[in-house]
Amino acid sequence: MNKSERPGNTKKASKPGAVKNAQRQRENDDPDEGIRPLPWFLVMFLGAMAMWGAFYIYITPSGEDTAYGDQRSVALLRPPVAAVAGSGGAAKVDGKQIYTTKCVACHQPTGAGLAGVFPPLAASEWVLGDDKTLINILLHGVNGEMVVKGNTYNGAMPAWKSMSDDELAGVMSYIRSDWGNQGAPITAEAVGAQREATKTQAAPYAGGAALKAAL
Ligand code: HEC
């Protein structure tokens, strides 16, 4: 239906065709959606990326065992227990840690002790001397006169037999290896054997002479 013939259009144009053309030229076209294809280079690029991805997955070796990854336990990731620092490889526990919790208050972090009260462990002839005597000191304690590095002490060294063989071996191996000490590590087996051999020892040794006599 022609615009001028519409029922509501009462305006009469003298020259219908000319008016229609003028109107048409004034108006813009209704907007419409044109067909805008993706640029060809983008299509090629995406295709190339997809192909590269597929190729990459294809060539990547898949030899990894998927059982690893998150399924490893904390125990597996821990370093081997025998490699504890300061134990000389002999102990399954951290001797330094035991020293820090149980011995440091008296014998001091430097192993130098406290003059006249607590004897030094650094360069001590008892620490670096006979294995069994050192184990005896730790297992049963000392309560009496003993000479350490030329000084006489008369204090009370507690007994530590409540610690396990591993722990005692660890702490003894540690005090033999720090502060310049270079003694051989002590094994848990040696502690166990000495614990058995001295099981009748109920009280602390009564000083250096008693320790020597116990051998
Ligand atoms: C409450 C303080 C105290 C604590 C804690 C203590 N000791 Fe002692 N320790 C002494 C005293 C005091 C002596 C000297 C005993 C004496 O005079 O009869 C001694 C002596 C020793 C000796 C022999 C003497 C020497 O200096 O070489 C060794 C070895 C030793 N202690 C190691 C240790 C270790 C290892 C620990 C920790 C497990 C420890 N002590 C914890 C007070 C302590």
H or E element in which residue 141 lies: none
The domain containing residue 130 runs over which residues? Answer: 82-213
Q: What CATH number should be reported for the domain holding residue 128?
A: 1.10.760.10
- Distance, CA 119 to ligand 1 centroid (Å)? 7
Residue whose CA is closest, atom 36 of ligand 1?
Answer: 103
pLDDT (tens digit per residue) in 77-94: 655 544 454 444 444 688
Residue whose CA is closest, atom 11 of ligand 1?
Answer: 157
Asked if residue 131 belongs to a domain, the reply is yes
Tell me the DSSP string of 80-129: PGGG-TTTTT--SS-HHHHIIIIIHHHH-TTS--BTTTB---TT-HHHHS
Asked if residue 67 belongs to a domain, the reply is no
- 20: exposed, middle or buried (Cβ count in 10 Å: 0-12, 13-18, 19+): middle
* Local confidence band at 148 (pLDDT 50, 70, 90 cut-offs): very high
Among the atoms of ligand 1, which is closest to the Cα of residue 172?
Answer: 35
Asked if residue 38 belongs to a domain, the reply is no
What is the dihedral angle through the alpha carbons of 101, 149, 156, 102, rounded to the nearest 10 degrees?
Answer: 0
- Identify whether the C-beta of residue 107 lies closer than 8 Å to the C-beta of residue 115: no
Residue 93 confidence (pLDDT): 82
Among the atoms of ligand 1, which is closest to the Cα of residue 208?
Answer: 18
- Identify whether the C-beta of residue 139 lies closer than 8 Å to the C-beta of residue 168: yes
Asked if residue 125 belongs to a domain, the reply is yes
Residue 6 confidence (pLDDT): 52
Residue 215 confidence (pLDDT): 82
Q: What's the helix, strand, coil split of the chain in %, to 5?
A: 45, 10, 45
The number of domains in the chain is 1
Asked if residue 73 belongs to a domain, the reply is no
> How far is Cα 183 from Cα 88, in angstroms, rounded to an integer?
9
Q: What is the mean pLDDT of the chain?
A: 83
pLDDT above 70 as % of the chain: 77
Among the atoms of ligand 1, which is closest to the Cα of residue 142?
Answer: 18
Ligand 1 touching residue 105 (CB < 6 A)? yes
Of 3-7, 42-46, 159-163, 182-186, the least confident: 3-7
73: tokens are: 């336990």
- For the segment 17-46, the average pLDDT, to the nearest whole number, is 82
Asked if residue 60 belongs to a domain, the reply is no
